[in-house]
Amino acid sequence: MKENDVLTKKIKKVSYKSLLIENIKYRTTLTKKYQSRKPYEKKDIKKITAFIPGTIRKIYVKTGKNVKEGDRLLILEAMKMKNELLSPTNGIVKSVLVKSGDLVSKNQLLIEFK
Amino acid sequence: MGLKQKSADLKKRMREAVKGGGTKAIEKQKATGKMTARERIMSILDNKSFHEYDLFVKHAGKDFNMDKKYLPGDGVITGTGMISGHPVCIYAQDFTVAGGSLGWAHAKKITKIMDHALKLKIPLIGINDSGGARIQEGVNALAGYGEIFYRNTRASGVIPQISVILGPCAGGAVYSPALTDFVFVVDKVSKMFITGPEVIKSVLGEEISMEELGGARVHCEITGNAHFYAESEEESFGQIKKLFSFIPWNNERKAESFPKRGPKTRQYKIENIIPSDPRQPYDVRDVVKAICDDSEFFEIQELFAANIVIGFSRIAGQTIGFVANQPLVLAGVLDVDSSDKAARFIRYCDAFNIPLVTLVDLPGYLPGVDQEHAGVIRHGAKLLYAYSEATVPKITVIMRKAYGGGYIAMCSHHLRADFVCAWPTAEIAVMGPEGAANIIFRNEIKNADDPDEMRKHKVKEYKSKFANPYVAAAYGYVDAVVEPFETRNFLIHALQVSGSKSEFIPHKKHGIPPF
């Protein structure tokens, strides 16, 4: 309830932003959630990222290696499961950015193809 | 032993049991700023109205030397009492007894009082303050949770069920509150999560505090799991009492009526609240206050998806559920969270015979990849479903913009609003004038010598033709065009004539809403 009153009083001091919907600019406020949303990034097939946070257990490829689609790249252990990451494409490994035992966060770049 | 001695024996037994976890544990509980389970029950209920049951229940643990332990009341207090003279069933987990952990007998006490509530058709209040399952009791603790969830579901929509989170509520325990109607939380006291910070750190390497992961603020603002935020337990209990003044005891009754009182019109002048330019913001809660009795609006989930406002107030003494777009936040758009928030509230009102008033002023749906990928289609559909399904009196006021899909979703005639009125400032159209003109007059604009000038001209043309309530009124989609100051009278009359509304529902076990 307190929150409510504070909010009502604050209205005149609120910093307004504009929001564009169907070519109309509306004067309004933006929520924290809206402002912290992540912009969409197109998936780059040449960048192998961690789909889940976890630990790198084994790496099967080295820089310069010629890989075929479906080849094993590494094992990412998460939630007590050993996940084999397979290559989504044919290509040459440009760089391996992690080593066995590394703790990786979600979406962290692991391997890059040329 | 004579009666005297037996009475003394009873008193001694009661003194022992009522002590809970003992002085030390109680001091520890108080040191963290928390009340004891018993104090909480006493503060919520009317003075001297609490009657306790199952005080002497013994815990059922046999393994790991548990059989030698005495756990007073097995860590939960259950009983019945009154709130403002109305009966309720209540239970409170006692953290001072084995951390309020849930064993078989503890669960049995809870399910027993739940069964009572459903049989007696009176509301149920659950106060959660528990370390979780009593590990020593193994699968019996899990069974206990399951039995509670099942009863929560059975009682859903029959009796009001509210949960108050006053301590940890982790793992499986969170699902009982999630199944109940309203969840109350208190800053720095409430903590809810499925997996705690330690597990998250060890498995995923992510570090986060309990407060940041599942504190009161998080559940009110981000997850939407909680409905009422308070800074102290006392404030929370005040909110609970207030809520009970607006809702009926069960689904066969109506909420209590109060004497009719006018709004505080000096403070809330309806004509002055809304800017005529549809792109300018205002606080829609002021409109609610300008319409309802005593300008008293009891808002629900005010911190979550604030682009839609929901809550209770009264019109001519009768409880009303308000749903209103909020132009102050995100221009009042519909999105995943706001659709979800409003839909659940509509279903609550429908289940408990509370008429719905919808105030419309929205530009449409929030554009964005994140929205589409978060499933705005299926979440948005919940709102259509909830309005279409609801058979309580439904009255809609279109104040300014009602564009496109947003117009349909906000309790239009097509979803069976009983009465739709529009203000002269209403713009009911397939989309905003700028967007519509760009599509309809695409060629004229493209081929003009001065496309920008032509666009402006065409937008103006579209606006003057379609940005009004009269096109919709001509088809009967709007029943009446009323001036803002007449809104309250319109609503009072509409509610009066809808008093004995009954609608035909095709026979079914239940629908399949887009959960």
Which CATH class for the A47-113 domain? mainly beta
Is pLDDT of A5 > 60? no
On average, the pLDDT of chain B sits at 95
A60 contacts A72 by C-beta, under 8 angstroms: yes
- Residue B32 CA to residue B483 CA, distance in Å, equals 54
| CB interface of B with A, residues 186-225, below 8 Å | 203-206, 221-222
Is pLDDT of A8 > 80? no
Instruction: Give the least confident one: B60-74, B272-286, B290-304.
Output: B60-74
**DSSP-assigned letters across all residues of chain A:** -HHHHHHHHHGGG---EEEEETTEEEEEB--HHHHTPPPP----TTEEE-SS-EEEEEE---TT-EE-TT-EEEEEEETTEEEEEEPSS-EEEEEE---TT-EE-TT-EEEEE-
Is pLDDT of B203 > 80? no
With beta carbons under 8 A apart, name residues in chain A contacting B307: 31
Nearest chain A residue to B224 by CA distance is A33
How many Cα neighbours within 13 Å face the side chain of B314?
A: 21
How would CATH label the architecture of B270-431+468-497?
A: Alpha-Beta Complex (3.90)
The domain spans of chain A are: 2-35, 47-113
CATH of domain B3-246: 3.90.226.10
**Six-digit token string for B262:** 């006018």
- Residue B357 CA to residue B319 CA, distance in Å, equals 11
- Residue B20 CA to residue B28 CA, distance in Å, equals 13
**φ, ψ for residue B275 (rounded to 5)?**
-65, 145
B206 contacts B200 by C-beta, under 8 angstroms: yes
Q: Under 8 Å CB-to-CB from B2, ≥6 apart: which residues?
A: none
Is this prediction's pTM over 0.90? yes
Is pLDDT of A1 > 50? no
For A38-68, write each residue's pLDDT tens digit: 888 888 889 999 998 889 999 999 999 999 9
With beta carbons under 8 A apart, name residues in chain B contacting A38: 370
Check CB contact of B235 with chain A, cutoff 8 Å. Answer: yes
- Residue percentage of chain B with pLDDT more than 90: 88
Q: Which of B279, B283, B298 would you mutate first to test chain A, the one with the most A CBs within 10 A?
A: B279
For B454-489, write each residue's pLDDT tens digit: 999 999 999 999 999 999 999 999 999 999 999 999
A22 and B363 within 8 Å at the Cβ level: the answer is yes
pLDDT range class, residue A12, cuts 50, 70, 90? low
- pLDDT of amino acid B429: 93
**Cα B365–chain centre separation:** 22
Within chain A, what is the greatest distance between any pair of CA atoms?
65
**B464-484: buried (b, 16+ CB within 10 Å) or exposed (e) per residue?**
eebbbbeebbeeebbbebbeb
Give the mean model confidence (pLDDT) for residues B18-39.
92
Higher pLDDT, A13 or B504: B504
From the number of C-beta atoms within 10 Å of its C-beta (0-12, 13-18, 19+), residue A102 rates as: middle
- Residue B485 CA to residue B398 CA, distance in Å, equals 14
Give the mean model confidence (pLDDT) for residues B338-360.
98
Give the mean model confidence (pLDDT) for residues B239-254.
97
Is pLDDT of A80 > 70? yes
With beta carbons under 8 A apart, name residues in chain B contacting A4: 285, 299, 302
Instruction: Kindly give the pairing relationship between strand B228-230 and strand A72-78.
Output: unpaired
Residue linked to tokens 């229940």: B57
For B112-129, write each residue's pLDDT tens digit: 999 999 999 999 999 999
B97 contacts B55 by C-beta, under 8 angstroms: no
Check CB contact of A41 with chain B, cutoff 8 Å. Answer: no
- pLDDT of amino acid B141: 94
With beta carbons under 8 A apart, name residues in chain A contacting B239: 1
- Residue A83 CA to residue B451 CA, distance in Å, equals 57
> What residue ranges of chain B are covered by domains with CATH 3.90.226.10?
3-246, 270-431+468-497
B290 contacts B268 by C-beta, under 8 angstroms: yes
B285 and A4 within 8 Å at the Cβ level: the answer is yes
How many Cα neighbours within 13 Å face the side chain of B121?
A: 8
N- to C-terminal Cα separation, chain A: 58
Task: Name the minimum distance, in Å, from the CA of B416 to any CA of chain A.
Answer: 27
- Residue B293 CA to residue B268 CA, distance in Å, equals 12
Is pLDDT of A6 > 70? no
With beta carbons under 8 A apart, name residues in chain B contacting A16: 281
Is pLDDT of A93 > 60? yes
B167 contacts B34 by C-beta, under 8 angstroms: yes
Is pLDDT of A7 > 80? no
**Cα A8–chain centre separation:** 37
Instruction: Kindly give the pairing relationship between strand B228-230 and strand B182-186.
Output: parallel
Nearest chain A residue to B302 by CA distance is A4
Could you say which of B206, B286, B404 has the minimum Cβ distance to residue A53? B206
B225 contacts B219 by C-beta, under 8 angstroms: yes
With beta carbons under 8 A apart, name residues in chain A contacting B368: 37
From the number of C-beta atoms within 10 Å of its C-beta (0-12, 13-18, 19+), residue B33 rates as: exposed
- Residue B56 CA to residue B16 CA, distance in Å, equals 10
Could you say which of B306, B329, B331 has the minimum Cβ distance to residue A21? B331
Is pLDDT of B422 > 80? yes
* Complex ipTM > 0.85: no
Check CB contact of A6 with chain B, cutoff 8 Å. Answer: no
**Six-digit token string for B134:** 């009593």
- Max mean pLDDT among A12-21, A51-60, B418-427, B449-458 falls in B418-427
Check CB contact of A38 with chain B, cutoff 8 Å. Answer: yes
Nearest chain B residue to A24 by CA distance is B434
- Residue percentage of chain B with pLDDT more than 70: 100
